[in-house]
Structure 1
Amino acid sequence: MTKKIVLIDGNSIAYRAFFALPLLSNDKGVHTNAIYGFTMMLMRILEDEKPTHILVAFDAGKTTFRHKTFSEYKGGRQKTPPELSEQFPFLRELLDAYNIPRYELVNYEADDIIGTLSTQADKKGYTVKVISGDKDLTQLASEAVTVDITKKGITEVDSYTPDFIMEKYGISPEQIIDMKGLMGDNSDNIPGVPGVGEKTALKLLKEFRTLENLFESIDQVSGNKLKEKLEENKEQAIISKELATIFREAPIEITLEKMIYEGYDAKKLTGIFKELGFNSLLDKLGESAQDEEIPLEDISFTIVYEVTEEILAKDSTLIVEMLEDNYHQADILGFAIVNEQDNFFIPTDIALQSDLFKKWAEDENYKKTVFDAKRAIVGLSWKGIHLVGVDFDCLIAAYVLDPSDGTVDIASIAKAKGYTNIQPDEAVYGKGAKQSIPSQEILAEHLIREAVALHNLKEAFEVDLKQNEQYELFTELEMPLSLILAEMEAVGIKVDVKRLKAMGIELKEKLNSLEQKIHEGAGEKFNINSPKQLGVILFEKLNLPPVKKTKTGYSTSAEVLEKLADKHEIIQHILHYRQLGKLQSTYIEGLLKVVHEDTCRIHTRFNQALTQTGRLSSIDPNLQNIPIRLDEGRKIRQTFIPTEDDWVIFAADYSQIELRVLAHIANDENLIHAFNNDLDIHTKTAMDVFHVAENEVTSNMRRQAKAVNFGIVYGISDYGLSQSLGITRKEAGQFIERYLESFPGVKEYMDEIIQDAKQKGYVSTLLQRRRYIPEITSRNFNIRSFAERTAMNTPIQGSAADIIKKAMIDMATRLKKEKLQTKLLLQVHDELIFEAPKNEIEILEKLVPEVMEHAVTLNVPLKVDYSFGATWYDAK
């Protein structure tokens, strides 16, 4: 069998992926776009090339042997954005999971490693494929070596062979270095001959073949001006050729035999994909990691066929087992109850038909320990049982103690505490299409084991919470909140189904109208949703300049179309058509699918134990992300209505809460003065940063000030700010520097919180929520830099999340105390959405701001804006 080796230029491909994809991040705030693009490329290579050998080469550092020849080599390159730097450690982990060797060599570049190995492999009869984003490597092309250079995207490539290079440039691969010697290379700061570009260089090389021949025959060069330039820069040209030449005899220690590829480690790769949030890539794996078998021990329990008072003790641990992720109206498989009496399993029909069980569940005096209280309460509410008396939730306790753990099952939490005799749910039920319910005995034993573990874990969790000074956060904030969220989920929010369907019809009419305009602009009918057909229309029939090509034809991505927006009126129609098409499928049809048939309500689920900052998120459907940029998207909120005809939707949101939290935490005098005097914070920032009077602040100045204000909250870098504002990184860096000079308290806070995190290993919010950041002391600069940004922004974001949670609890208490009918329906980041009778609005206008603004006491005032109307749309 022919041996085929793939050599990948790691740094180059990572850079390409980073700049080709928008900034993506996982739920822990780690940027992932470079890793995602790199992985997509890797998957394609393994599938298409089927290599027998493979290696990824990385640059070992900024200084190489070339710097001795020319100290300014690569001197013009900008500093690597921290958003990219922090991804390299994860890239290396990814390659380890793929079982792909990686190599770097001090004083040499990745190009030299690849050049050396490709030469060795060629001599030994291998077929060689080099993958890079850097055309310098095309000099390696030969009969056995093909060099794939990525285009603007990450998966599209041009394959450079000697024939391709001859067709493209009219020279051989060996002459690439002569061309670089003449024309130089701005990206590597190789000077070349000033005034000589690619066209002139190629013309000279076709005549004189090499740089050396050219200078030996300099008198034969036509054009006195060109001849003079060449003579004046002879030494510089020769040095430039030397700099551009890939060294093919680097002292590498890794051998070709060590690069055999035998497949990836499915378990490791699955774990990395889950950690990075690459859910779409999980499906592409051919295998999945299998859970280890866990030895079982004997455990006694009783299967109950008649519920008696003896079973239902004052303090019990309860498990309500449901398989579905979406537990609204899910089937209950059975109940496990563990208490001082014994361990009991109650089949579903026995429990639900028992008046004694219902009475016990609905008695506040009978305290219950559970795992995921919200899930249990909502699941039982659909069966007509209102579970109360829940005083300890082991899921929430584990989340408060370590929000980075991401554990959502009992087996993992128990295992972390030393219980190794519990199987994960997948081992009991299977997964996917193979999922099934086992026999009653197996099910009962599984649930009893879980319940026994939870029963014993409660005390350990309480000790840990008190030791961390987080017991109050757990008992006073997170536990009461879980009960409120359960009520919100059970109530749901009413939807005007007729209006939603009507919007669907209206959108369909607009789509039809746009389709007609597009067809008229094209001069023929075609499938607008077919990239291939659309590409032919735009780039062949209408002769628009093609921006990017794919394997199947022309690229018609949104990025490409936006660049062509001013070339033809058809482009705006296509972009609008796509936006409306997504609204139709995702939000009109998507919402109609989840409207409850009996209640005409949508019952979203709130994730309480997911984010590391403490923020809530919403799924099935995500009602925190209803699109509002397009007018048609904003109008979708018109379909969310109150339950009764004479009720309204009342919305209240915190104004700039994170900046107010920053002012408090940083104790910055300028920020505090601005908020205490009700100044426009963005205008004030612009005044301080640009050193202008209030009446001299332009809209662009305010826009830039706003970007840096919120950027500071989220740990923005000069690169991130430059992307946000469309300015250079240098300008963005200067802007951040001026901001920190204007707000010295913020600068001091940033420095102190990093030192604090290094000493403790974690940072805390105002209400003692912790986020552990072990990477803060890493020796790796990139990992440490990301950790430092996390340390700076977590106390701000986390405290803001804590404040609105506290406001939700206080609001529930006051609504009950005032005996109001008003109900809290949704939490959307910094906003609370209620439904209320019209006769309670006057009370709410005073009550809601009062409660929300006094949820916590800061050294600046919290400010709440509110509005109300017939629909959610009208309340905004």
Structure 2
Amino acid sequence: MVDTKKLVLIDGNSIAYRAFFALPLLNNDKGIHTNAVYGFTMMLMKILEDEKPTHILVAFDAGKTTFRHQTFSEYKGGRQKTPPELSEQFPFIRELLDAYKISRYELENYEADDIIGTLSLRAEKEGYDVKVISGDKDLTQLTSPHTTVGITRKGITDIEIYTPEHVREKYGLTPEQIIDMKGLMGDPSDNIPGVPGVGEKTAIKLLKEFSTVEELLQSLSQVSGKLKEKLEEFKDQAMMSKKLATIERQAPIEVDFNDISYEGYSREKIIQLFKELGFSSLLDRLGETAAETEQVELEELEFIISEEITDGIFSNINYFYVEMLDDNYHHADIIGFSLVNETGRYFLPTEQALASKAFKTWAEDPQRTKIVYDAKRSEVSLRRFGIHLTGVKFDILIASYLLNPTENFEDLASIAKTYGLTNIQSDEAFYGKGAKRKVPETSDLAGHLVRKGQIMFDLKEKLEDELKTNEQYELFKELEMPLSLILADMESTGIKVERDRLQAMGRELSERLVQIEERICELAGEKFNINSPKQLGVILFEKMQLPAIKKTKTGYSTSADVLEKLAPHHEIIEHILLYRQLGKLQSTYIEGLLKVIDSKTDKVHTRFQQTLTATGRLSSIDPNLQNIPIRLEEGRKIRQAFVPSEPGWVIFAADYSQIELRVLAHISEDEKLIQAFQEDMDIHTKTAMEVFHVDKEDVTSNMRRHAKAVNFGIVYGISDYGLSQSLGISRKEAGQFIERYLDSYPGVRTYMDDIIHLAKQKGYVTTLMNRRRYLPDITARNFNLRSFAERTAMNTPIQGSAADIIKKAMIDMDEALKDKGLQSRLLLQVHDELIFEAPEEEVETLKSLVPLVMENALELKVPLKVDYAYGPTWFDAK
């Protein structure tokens, strides 16, 4: 369940101009003017902090000429030329937006206003709350029950909020009449002439009486004196001025709302840009210093561009780099390879390499050692050309990830920088970004890729030594390295999805949503936009008089947590919550999955992110198959569309039972927990017995529910507040419940105290397989930072060990399937579950083999337990 979607639309030119003229001219140490960028950044920070948009776009004017010039050639004719001190800052503003991962858009022949007008109207129809930010009051004509317009006032971050009510209070007009007002009074800033002698007061007075310019001009007999003469003389000009002032709301804009969703900025890029611009105070807000890193000239490297590829270049150990520009390597073009070894440095052009027998022979020879960057990506990309990469002994990316698990390295250059190696450009600096991203000439590309090969050569020994010093080399070599190639197999294999079944589900959901919408409106007593928090707030809290739990700056909160608390008060709430859930299923999962089904194979090929999470958990993207909601029956049914790829096969799923609680029992060595698992007791019933001091037969379902919440809460470091919110009890009750739990399981209390003490001593915690997570805030003075670090110290060994166990199980299963000569294939890993497809005749073998292998992945003081199921679809394997 999520809050309603919120779209923020920013008038880029207007805000940049406002910032430039509101602030004194500022320069960085290179002499570049930065006041407009600085002001724009301040505004952006405020918008993101205050509005918390789910979607955001900045619109820019595309050029000086627009369709309005066909109506009036002198439109905006009186404007002075943009000061060069401002012009030079626009590229930095665009760079700023890219660093913030905020979409920007401009359209030939249209203004930013028209882009905003078109998108705001479209967004309203699709159930978004819209916030427009500009310095131009013309945009107040867009205000509606679903769209508010913020107009900058003094300075740069002081904003006046316009709603239809505020427009009425300020001018006595409707938002639509703002256009008529401009038609009458004109606008000198845009060189819109209006009617000479008619100012704002006169225009407002006339419109209160006659409503529109058209009605006024048809009723001139009711106007007297010079005003009548002026209106008669300039009636055509008034109509033209109204046309010029009207924002186009049907512009041919090619923007998909999915493409402008906002998920946070690139901290590294923001810091880099702020340093370049000299924004010391903003760096302080990010917790960084303004000290510039030393710029080092790139040293010359000698290399050979191998137009003819022979076996002679593949001598000894080879540092091998595969380059693609697109992150999604399942379809990205390979643009080149580099090879570095003790005899030389080589650039291998893509076409020549892929056509070379010597290249294929070397790549597929397991005896020829390769050191790579991102083994999985390299293997999957080459498989598309019929080449299976083997003999990979070391992966620079995986090694760096294990040593720095909380760093999100952008590319090889960012890893190199961590180890003081600077003889390489970042990919962003080399290829450019956004629309400017391109592949340079072969000689330059060759040089960049060879530098990558050389950096790998220079890094390998450092990384290997550090892994051994940290006692993590076994984790690297025995777990993560073999896993990367298993994940490559899984990604390349993919999982079949029945498109027709998904489409049918989509139609059923659409019908269901219509029915629920009708029922909600029936209970409300009127039709309204359920997706509008404002309208929903009025219905629930004013018309139906339900208790208003939380208010925001823009009105009543109708967030999911608020609605859940209101559920007992009226049946309309459960329908609204269901409506939101089903809407999310429809847009994100059904429509999202349909977009990524391979048209040739009818499969989806998710990418498993092996080097992302600090706990070691795998995540899945393009599409994310780990987050399909299964609490709702409609969500579970989506799994019906996932089927075996061959006739006579089934989907076989095996799931670890309560693996994290079993790991907790092992790590804490708590006698009661260990006993419960050894005796195969229901752990939630056992906890309820301990905490409530009752016999097994006296444990009620509510007691078990409370016990389950605290069991899993402990694993995730839950606080008394978190537990109170989860169970709907007071914070005091939740605190007492946690205390009773810890009294019942003293080993868990001791573990929690000891692990925090150990983390403060070492600065990190480890999993059972020695995966590390560093905790720099564990001794912070700030209470919130320190508390979060302490909770992380408690739960990382548990979650991380569970992640390591299932990774080990994947490796063992791969080996077991091969040893037995089975056709069964591992397709997916979803949290604590492994999904296979298998011939029906192998199911009996899997029933015994899979639990045996998974339950013995790692020896604990308590038994691991695996449940399995199988059927014709993923849904049936439950």
Superposition TM-score, scaled by structure 1 size:
0.66
- Taking the aligned partners of 2:733 and 2:603, their CA distance within structure 1 comes to 50
The equivalent residue for 1:669 is: 671
Q: Is contact 1:314-1:365 (8 Å) kept?
A: no
Q: How does 1:196-207 map to 2 (within 5 A)?
A: none
The equivalent residue for 1:470 is: 472
Distance 1:42 1:569, change over 3 A: closer
Distance 1:638 1:292, change over 3 A: farther
Shift of 1:341: 2.2
- Taking the aligned partners of 1:496 and 1:521, their CA distance within structure 2 comes to 37
Answering whether residue 792 of structure 2 is matched by residue 790 of structure 1, we say: yes
Distance 1:803 1:602, change over 3 A: same
The equivalent residue for 2:414 is: 412
Answering whether residue 491 of structure 2 is matched by residue 492 of structure 1, we say: no
Q: Is contact 1:317-1:338 (8 Å) kept?
A: yes
Answering whether residue 714 of structure 2 is matched by residue 712 of structure 1, we say: yes
Shift of 1:394: 0.5
Per-residue CA deviations over 1:541-576 (Å, capped at 9, x if unaligned) read 777777767777766544555565566655544433
Aligned residue identity for 2:297: P
Aligned residue identity for 2:50: M
Q: How does 1:769-784 map to 2 (within 5 A)?
A: 769-784=771-786
- Taking the aligned partners of 1:621 and 1:368, their CA distance within structure 2 comes to 30
| SS of residue in 1 equivalent to 2:733 | helix
Shift of 1:752: 2.0
Answering whether residue 289 of structure 2 is matched by residue 270 of structure 1, we say: no
Distance 1:545 1:807, change over 3 A: closer
Per-residue CA deviations over 1:360-380 (Å, capped at 9, x if unaligned) read 111111111111111111111
Residue 40 of structure 1, aligned match among 49, 64, 82: 49
The equivalent residue for 2:379 is: 377
Residue 319 of structure 1, aligned match among 318, 321, 328: 321
- Taking the aligned partners of 1:43 and 1:503, their CA distance within structure 2 comes to 32
Aligned residue identity for 1:382: R
The equivalent residue for 2:863 is: 861
Shift of 1:517: 3.9
Q: Is contact 1:395-1:408 (8 Å) kept?
A: no
- Taking the aligned partners of 2:534 and 2:754, their CA distance within structure 1 comes to 56
Q: How does 1:696-735 map to 2 (within 5 A)?
A: 696-735=698-737
Answering whether residue 646 of structure 2 is matched by residue 644 of structure 1, we say: yes
Distance 1:846 1:37, change over 3 A: farther
Per-residue CA deviations over 1:42-82 (Å, capped at 9, x if unaligned) read 999xx9xxxxxxxxxxxxxxxxxxxxxxxxxxxxxxxxxxx
The equivalent residue for 2:190 is: none
Aligned residue identity for 1:771: R
Distance 1:537 1:699, change over 3 A: closer
| SS of residue in 1 equivalent to 2:450 | helix
Distance 1:332 1:656, change over 3 A: same
Per-residue CA deviations over 1:208-251 (Å, capped at 9, x if unaligned) read xxxxxxxxxxxxxxxxxxxxxxxxxxxxxxxxxxxxxxxxxxxx
Distance 1:445 1:356, change over 3 A: same
Distance 1:38 1:333, change over 3 A: closer
The equivalent residue for 1:451 is: 453
Distance 1:515 1:667, change over 3 A: closer
The equivalent residue for 1:840 is: 842
Shift of 1:293: 5.7
Q: Which moved more, 1:778-787 or 1:472-481?
A: 778-787
Aligned residue identity for 2:863: P
Taking every aligned residue pair, what percent have the same amino acid on both sides? 66
Per-residue CA deviations over 1:657-698 (Å, capped at 9, x if unaligned) read 111111111111111111111111111111112222111212
The equivalent residue for 1:345 is: 347
| SS of residue in 2 equivalent to 1:709 | helix
Q: Is contact 1:654-1:863 (8 Å) kept?
A: yes
Distance 1:736 1:302, change over 3 A: same
Distance 1:541 1:669, change over 3 A: closer
Shift of 1:273: 13
| SS of residue in 2 equivalent to 1:777 | coil
Q: How does 1:460-859 map to 2 (within 5 A)?
A: 460-518=462-520, 527-531=529-533, 556-559=558-561, 561-562=563-564, 565=567, 571-859=573-861
Aligned residue identity for 1:865: D
The equivalent residue for 2:222 is: none
Aligned residue identity for 1:851: V
Aligned residue identity for 1:828: V
- Taking the aligned partners of 1:748 and 1:564, their CA distance within structure 2 comes to 39
Distance 1:333 1:292, change over 3 A: farther
Q: Is contact 1:334-1:345 (8 Å) kept?
A: yes
| SS of residue in 2 equivalent to 1:436 | coil
Shift of 1:791: 1.7
Shift of 1:439: 1.5
RMSD of aligned residue pairs (Cα, Å)? 3.7
Distance 1:580 1:849, change over 3 A: same
Distance 1:308 1:429, change over 3 A: same
The equivalent residue for 1:80 is: none
Distance 1:559 1:266, change over 3 A: closer
Distance 1:699 1:516, change over 3 A: closer
Aligned residue identity for 1:628: I
The equivalent residue for 2:361 is: 359
Distance 1:272 1:669, change over 3 A: farther
Superposition TM-score, scaled by structure 2 size:
0.66
Shift of 1:490: 0.7
- Taking the aligned partners of 2:872 and 2:631, their CA distance within structure 1 comes to 21
Distance 1:806 1:553, change over 3 A: closer
- Taking the aligned partners of 2:538 and 2:722, their CA distance within structure 1 comes to 36
Q: Is contact 1:291-1:427 (8 Å) kept?
A: no
- Taking the aligned partners of 1:345 and 1:651, their CA distance within structure 2 comes to 45
Shift of 1:583: 1.3
| SS of residue in 2 equivalent to 1:733 | helix
- Taking the aligned partners of 1:533 and 1:670, their CA distance within structure 2 comes to 53
Shift of 1:726: 1.6
Distance 1:714 1:550, change over 3 A: closer
Aligned residue identity for 1:410: L
Distance 1:537 1:362, change over 3 A: same
Q: How does 1:55-454 map to 2 (within 5 A)?
A: 270-271=270-271, 294-454=296-456
> Which ranges in structure 1 are unaligned for 5 or more consecutive residues?
6-35, 48-96, 99-143, 149-154, 160-264, 275-280
| SS of residue in 1 equivalent to 2:311 | coil
Shift of 1:495: 0.3
Distance 1:515 1:291, change over 3 A: farther
> Which ranges in structure 2 are unaligned for 5 or more consecutive residues?
1-17, 23-44, 57-98, 101-153, 167-264, 275-281
| SS of residue in 1 equivalent to 2:777 | helix
Shift of 1:793: 1.5
Distance 1:785 1:551, change over 3 A: closer
Q: Is contact 1:294-1:423 (8 Å) kept?
A: no
Shift of 1:484: 0.4
Distance 1:666 1:519, change over 3 A: closer
- Taking the aligned partners of 1:824 and 1:850, their CA distance within structure 2 comes to 16
The total of aligned residue pairs comes to 625
Shift of 1:459: 1.5
Distance 1:731 1:573, change over 3 A: closer
Q: Is contact 1:310-1:341 (8 Å) kept?
A: no
| SS of residue in 2 equivalent to 1:686 | helix
| SS of residue in 2 equivalent to 1:609 | coil
Shift of 1:755: 2.3
Shift of 1:578: 2.8
Q: Which moved more, 1:798-807 or 1:767-776?
A: 767-776
Aligned residue identity for 1:270: I
Distance 1:859 1:544, change over 3 A: closer
Per-residue CA deviations over 1:249-285 (Å, capped at 9, x if unaligned) read xxxxxxxxxxxxxxxx9978935999xxxxxx99xx9
- Taking the aligned partners of 1:580 and 1:273, their CA distance within structure 2 comes to 41
